[in-house]
């Protein structure tokens, strides 16, 4: 389908997995490329019929132009890849051109990735507990454990800025286990201090939930911390359920 949208002088190559590279020779400018990308999105989006079943596939496209966005193949591929991630972050099934602003964002993303990989070892994560309060008596019925990342000299970083990156890199699995252990241990500590027992809910990411040993992991944490299972609630985010 991709080859059907381009000319004979263009090149279509499979880079690996589900990634393809399209080299457009002698294009007349961004508008001609934009027109081609629109045709490509429509072509890929046509349903596939396999064994009487209908399947829909979309694609996210990143575009880098020569020579504005790079003089060599390595740079052009790197910048097109950055633009492709912007397309994915923009809801998928669209195309994005590389921009200098995007280059700055990708540099920040790489820096954050490196810091995120060291954050657990450096004990930079903390949990905040949001209470669920009874409107009748004002008592605390339950609490939700909320992850926060505190970087020295940068302050506290909200989850929406790093959770997606952690999910993408797989770091969400060890981070999620730390959250589970810390929340269960804290809840048990509150009980031992004589406070009324409450349920603490912990968010479980899509990647964690797909782990084959998720049940075993939860069971081990409950055993290690001594918390009864009825005082732990696992919460699946709306995006994960969808």
pLDDT tens profile 31-40: 889 999 999 9
Distance between CA atoms of residues 223 and 235, nearest Å: 20
Up-side HSE of residue 62: CA atoms within 13 Å toward CB?
22
Question: From the CB of residue 224, how many other CB atoms can be counted at a distance below 10 Å?
Answer: 12
Predicted pLDDT of residue 60: 93
97 SS3 class: strand
pLDDT at 233: 96
List, for residues 186-212, the tens digit of each pLDDT value: 999 999 999 999 999 999 988 888 888
What residues have CB less than 8 Å from 35, skipping those under 6 apart?
A: none
Tell me the pLDDT tens digit for each residue of 85-120: 888 878 889 999 988 777 777 777 777 788 888 888
Cβ(69)–Cβ(101) under 8 Å?
no
**pLDDT (0 to 100) of residue 239:** 66
Is cis: bond before 67, omega within 30 of 0? yes
Reported as a pLDDT band with limits 50, 70 and 90, residue 171 is confident
Q: What is the pLDDT of residue 240?
A: 65
Q: The tokens of 64 are what?
A: 């880098």
When pLDDT is averaged across residues 35-54 and rounded to a whole number, the result is 91
pTM over 0.85: no
- C-alpha–C-alpha distance, residues 185 and 132, integer Å: 19
């Amino acid at each position: 389908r991709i080859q059907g949208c381009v000319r004979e002088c263009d090149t279509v190559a499979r880079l690996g997995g589900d990634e393809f590279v399209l080299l457009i020779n002698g294009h007349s400018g961004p508008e001609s490329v934009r027109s081609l990308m629109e045709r490509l999105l429509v072509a890929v989006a046509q349903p596939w019929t396999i064994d009487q079943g209908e399947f829909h596939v979309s694609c996210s496209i990143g575009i880098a132009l020569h020579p504005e966005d790079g003089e060599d193949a390595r740079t052009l591929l790197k910048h097109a890849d950055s633009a492709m991630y912007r397309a994915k972050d923009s809801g998928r099934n669209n195309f994005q051109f590389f921009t200098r602003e995007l280059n700055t964002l990708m540099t920040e993303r790489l820096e954050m990735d490196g810091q995120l990989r060291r954050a657990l070892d450096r004990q930079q994560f903390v949990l905040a507990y949001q209470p669920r309060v009874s409107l009748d008596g004002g008592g605390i019925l339950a609490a939700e454990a909320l992850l926060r990342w505190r970087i020295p000299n940068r302050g506290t970083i909200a989850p929406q800025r790093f959770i997606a990156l952690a999910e993408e890199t797989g770091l969400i699995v060890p981070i999620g286990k730390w959250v589970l252990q810390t929340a269960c241990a804290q809840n048990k500590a509150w009980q031992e201090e004589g406070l009324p027992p409450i349920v603490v809910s912990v968010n479980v990411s899509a990647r964690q939930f797909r782990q084959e040993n998720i049940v075993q992991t939860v069971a081990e944490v409950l055993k290690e911390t001594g918390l009864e299972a009825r005082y732990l609630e696992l919460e699946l985010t709306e995006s994960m359920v969808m």
